[in-house]
Structure 1
Amino acid sequence: MKKLNFLVVMDDIATINYKKDSTLAMMWAIRERGHGLYYCGIHDLWLNLGELYVDSQPVEVFKNPEKFYELGEKSTVKVTEFDVILMRKDPPFDMNFIYATYLLDKAKAAGVLVVNDPSSIRDCNEKLFATWFSEEMSETIVTAKQAHIREFIKQHGDVIVKPLDGMGGMGIFRLTADSPNIGSTLEMLTQMQTLPIMAQKYLPAIKEGDKRVLIVGGQVVPYCLARIPQGGETRGNLAAGGRGVAMPLSDAERAVAEKVAPILLEKGLYFVGLDLIGAKITEINVTSPTCVREIDDQFGTQIAVDFIGFVESLLAQS
């Protein structure tokens, strides 16, 4: 395989968690396979007369928690100096994020491989995209209207409500038919019935974990990370204090993931985190999925290496 130049678009590298960061694992894999590695943030992407330029820095990465990166001098280059761009900016999925995907469309048009595909990142809202596989979900509605959600709560008795643009468990509430704060919770989440939110029938299987299944290059990783709620929490998200335990996929979990995987491949979504509770889809994470390091540490997999190998194979075919 010829040497490739990779640009990683991400948050400030100084702020990442050395022990858990999946993007860092990808960067290690890129360097171990002999490729060039460069780094920038979304504000380092800019247009000049319709051409995309990048204010980027070469970066060296090390498996040393005391010093895990070293940045070279920043310079401005045309985006065509890179063979691959990994879009690994974390949410929030706000207008800044969306503008960055528009700029990355320019990179794709110029012949650079952008992973994940920027237009698919925009199209596939992580909550709403899941509803294309509604037969594999818990009963779900999406609406801004309090009356519909109240009827849904009355029908199912125990419901999870959440914003469509949340991350890390933010804004997730569990409501039952006798909850005293249904009205105020829904007013807040829907911004007085002007913003749609998602309501889902509560799945008791959350006690066994909200399971992150990674799908890499259309292939389902055979292990998942179960994020298990702690201390009476409803949410299993690691950011909300959940405990991460890697485990093999069940037959039912694998069957669901195998249904989703070909669609992801068609859309250029090559590194995706599918979230399952009790083998039911809750979200499909396409922005910057994580949990690579925990699964690798507990099962000896090399998920990031496999991912970079897949990217190499894509370019070898082009």
Structure 2
Amino acid sequence: MKIAYVMDPLTRVNVFADTTFALMLGAQQRGHDIFYVRPESLEARGDEAFAMLQPVTLRQDPVDPVSYGEARQASLDEMDVVWMRKDPPFDDTYMYEVMLLELAEERGTLVLNRPRGLRDANEKLYALHFSDHTPRTLVSSQAESIKAFAEEVGGKAVLKPLDGHGGAGIFVIGSEDRNLNAMIEVSTHGGTRRVMVQQYLPEARQGDKRVLMLDGKPMGAILRVPLEQEHRSNIHVGGRVEKTELTEREQAICEAVGPRLKADGLTFVGLDMIGERLTEVNVTSPTGIQEMSRLNGVDGPAEVMAWIENELG
């Protein structure tokens, strides 16, 4: 097959941690042709999507990880599969790029994740479809509502921007904190932008679970444990990764979320869970497949590629 990956520059990737790199390498190892696509090269001519397609050969070598072939502007109709793996933020530029990829999907190319699903599934708000499994949550731009909610859930809450990623802009707020008003003002841009506020879960100190979902079913999970001086457990801010298993309740969350993911065309997804509660649903470029593969002794990228090969017959 011919498989294109719309992603941020390959020069930025950590070859031993980056999930997109692992998916590309896994496809290459199974004999498929892989192409790198710069997001800004996407364009439309009528109802046909085009991009600068650059063949690449990958090696899990941090010094010399990639060899580039000659790039050419071509129709995405030539591709069997296009992965949208550009990192957030989900801004206007991202939305237009997804709309262009929808043209390729309509003409027969398999696009992962499905463009319509990417447009509709805000990584914070999507979890609210499963509120039986989430912490108590408020979405608001109003300071008084946010402060009252923090009091209602015990005087401590987690404040998140709706368009954030990688732990950026997340605060643990407390009703007695003298910085509370300032944090709310900064996060809501003076009451003009909504944020998500969730009940603080003490289990966060033991880490949060990243569960990778493929076609609505769990592939495996990792536990990300925060540094002592951090409340965020994201790997890129120093979170330690440990082997973990899903509890019975966490399995039930996967079973509740899975059918909706499949219906929305969200094939490869990362669920975040703290204290057996669903906190986020990551759909744009979920990470963790290399860590999960090493800790669990599996080949996650090969499993993903096997699903694609079966899907396309």
How high is the TM-score relative to the length of structure 1?
A: 0.96
1:43-82 map, 5 Å: 43-82=40-79
Q: Which residue of 2 aligns with 1:194?
A: 192
1:66 is paired with a residue of what secondary structure?
coil
1:149-168 map, 5 Å: 149-156=146-153, 157-168=155-166
Structure 1 residue 118 corresponds to structure 2 residue 123: no
Aligned letter for 2:216? G
Deviation at 1:121, TM superposition (A): 0.6
Aligned letter for 1:286? V
Structure 1 residue 284 corresponds to structure 2 residue 290: no
Structure 1 residue 296 corresponds to structure 2 residue 299: no
Deviation digits for residues 193-236 of structure 1 (CA, Å, limit 9, x no counterpart): 11110111100011111110000122212x31111111231111
**Which of 237, 241, 260 is the equivalent residue of 1:240?**
237
Q: Which residue of 1 aligns with 2:89?
A: 92
**Which of 301, 307, 310 is the equivalent residue of 1:310?**
307
Deviation at 1:63, TM superposition (A): 2.7
Deviation digits for residues 152-197 of structure 1 (CA, Å, limit 9, x no counterpart): 0121211111100111111111111211111111111111111110
Distance 1:64 1:236 in 2: 27
Deviation digits for residues 117-155 of structure 1 (CA, Å, limit 9, x no counterpart): 011111000000000101100000101111111110121
**Which of 28, 31, 44 is the equivalent residue of 1:31?**
28
Do the aligned residues in 2 keep the contact of 1:169 with 1:239 (CA within 8 Å)?
A: no
Deviates more, 1:239-248 or 1:22-31: 239-248
Do the aligned residues in 1 keep the contact of 2:117 with 2:265 (CA within 8 Å)?
A: yes
Do the aligned residues in 1 keep the contact of 2:250 with 2:276 (CA within 8 Å)?
A: yes
Distance 1:287 1:49 in 2: 26
Deviation at 1:291, TM superposition (A): 0.4
User: Unmatched 5+ residue regions in structure 2?
Assistant: none
Distance 2:59 2:215 in 1: 26
2:312 is paired with a residue of what secondary structure?
helix
Distance 2:23 2:186 in 1: 38
Do the aligned residues in 2 keep the contact of 1:138 with 1:281 (CA within 8 Å)?
A: yes
Deviation at 1:315, TM superposition (A): 1.1
Equivalenced residue count is 312
Do the aligned residues in 1 keep the contact of 2:20 with 2:85 (CA within 8 Å)?
A: yes
Do the aligned residues in 2 keep the contact of 1:217 with 1:307 (CA within 8 Å)?
A: no
1:3-22 map, 5 Å: 4-22=1-19
CA RMSD in angstroms comes to 1.1
Deviation at 1:49, TM superposition (A): 3.1
**Which of 218, 221, 226 is the equivalent residue of 1:220?**
218
Q: Which residue of 1 aligns with 2:207?
A: 209
Deviation at 1:65, TM superposition (A): 2.6
Deviation at 1:314, TM superposition (A): 1.3
How high is the TM-score relative to the length of structure 2?
A: 0.97
Deviates more, 1:39-48 or 1:237-246: 237-246
Aligned letter for 2:243? A
Structure 1 residue 41 corresponds to structure 2 residue 38: yes
Percent identity of paired positions between Structure 1 and Structure 2? 37
1:244 is paired with a residue of what secondary structure?
strand
Distance 1:176 1:293 in 2: 36
